[in-house]
Structure 1
Amino acid sequence: MTIVDERPAVDAGTLVSAELRDTLAADVRAKYDHITADMARRGVGQMLAFVAASAASAKPLSPSPLVDDFWHAFVLRTKAYADFCHEAFGKFVHHQPGFLDRQEHGGGKGLRARTVEAIHAAGYLLDPEFWPELDIADCSQCHANCHNSPKHATDKAD
């Protein structure tokens, strides 16, 4: 008989102090007035779950646009972010936006699905409100060579 030990998922927001979590939530709320206090608190947790999953993944992962906003808030607090990465993972988790090869990484939906699976496998809570594009998107992140991206190569007749 095989016994499966299913542990409850953990709120990754607990990876940082309550003070830092509140500071990051306040930073995001100051920039985006539509974000409620509860959503900001949950968003910090989703961002930390993403960063933790990224630190453990051998393959690239991609945040949702909303989770990316929270990651930007943390990255801008450079010392706190660097200290967190080194204490939690023993290495720095870089924010490297850019276009990933669709064939190699499965496009946006495949990449985002891998991200969500990695967060789940790492044992963190997943809040679907922060990953809505799993049902609709087919991109990896904003301005990553999309048709309306400033980086998109267009055919221009001179």
Structure 2
Amino acid sequence: MTTTVAAGTRTGRSLVTDVEFDMLAAFCVDEYGLERCVADRVVDQALALVFVMGSTGGGDAMAPSQQVDPGWHALILHTNWYADWCEKNFGSFLHHQPNSKVRTHGLMASVVEKIRVAGFTVDDRLWGTAAQCNAPTCCGDGPCC
């Protein structure tokens, strides 16, 4: 699947200051061993996901991919910052309700579509939606997607 970026598309990174983004990406590097270029992509997608979840109230029907989840953890683990960010953007704290068993190719495609509809750039490689699923070797977070 090719990502089409419409004019005026925004990034998750645009939702925070450069200093905040650096804090979150550096945490992913230190805590999860990600290369900085990967950490930047992961945090960008996590910010877009959480923003869409919080601003649409659709969090119950959304979940991060396995690759994006460390980005959300980076947000959550900076608790004071995250609480303030949520209050500013949504008027309340957006809780993380882990449920990795729901990560299917269909759900990831649905989440990606919601993020795109909200005007964000999507990195399909981090969502398992970069290629068609070829069961049984590839579903959801599979390595070939």
Q: TM-score range by the shorter chain?
A: 0.7 to 0.9
Report the number of matched residues: 128
Give the alignment partner of residue 121 of structure 1, picking from 105, 114, 117. Answer: 117
Q: Which runs of 5+ in 2 are unaligned?
A: 1-5
Pairing 1:4-153 to 2, within 5 Å after superposition: 7-33=7-33, 35-55=34-54, 56-58=56-58, 59-98=60-99, 108-132=104-128, 135=133, 136-137=138-139
Q: Which residue of 1 aligns with 2:3?
A: none
CA contact (8 A) 2:45 2:123 kept: yes
TM-aligned CA deviation for residue 90 of structure 1:
1.8
* Residues 39-93 of structure 1, C-alpha deviations (whole Å, 9 max, x = no match): 2122211000110111114352010111111111110110101111111122221
2: distance between equivalents of 1:18 and 1:42?
14
TM-score for the superposition, normalised by structure 2: 0.77
List runs of 5+ in structure 1 lacking aligned partners.
1-5, 140-158
Q: Distance in 1 between matches of 2:38 and 2:100?
A: 29
Distance (whole Å) between structure 2 residues aligned to residue 85 and residue 138 of structure 1 = 28
**Would you say the 8 A contact 1:29–1:40 is kept in 2?**
yes
**CA 1:75–1:121: 2 relative to 1, 3 Å:** same
The runs of 4+ residues in structure 1 deviating greater than 3 Å are none
DSSP-derived class of the 1:66 partner: coil
C-alpha distance in 1 between matches for 2:37 and 2:100: 32
**TM score, norm. by length of structure 1:** 0.72
74-83 or 129-138: which moved more? 129-138
| Contact in 1 for aligned 2:32/2:70 (Cα 8 Å) | no
C-alpha distance in 1, partners of 2:12/2:100? 27
Kindly indicate whether the alpha-carbon contact (under 8 Å) linking 1:64 and 1:133 is maintained by their aligned counterparts in 2.
no
* Rg comparison, structure with higher value: 1
Q: Which amino acid aligns with 1:22?
A: D
Alpha-carbon distance in 2 for matches of 1:45, 1:17: 12
| Structure 1 vs Structure 2 CA RMSD | 2.2
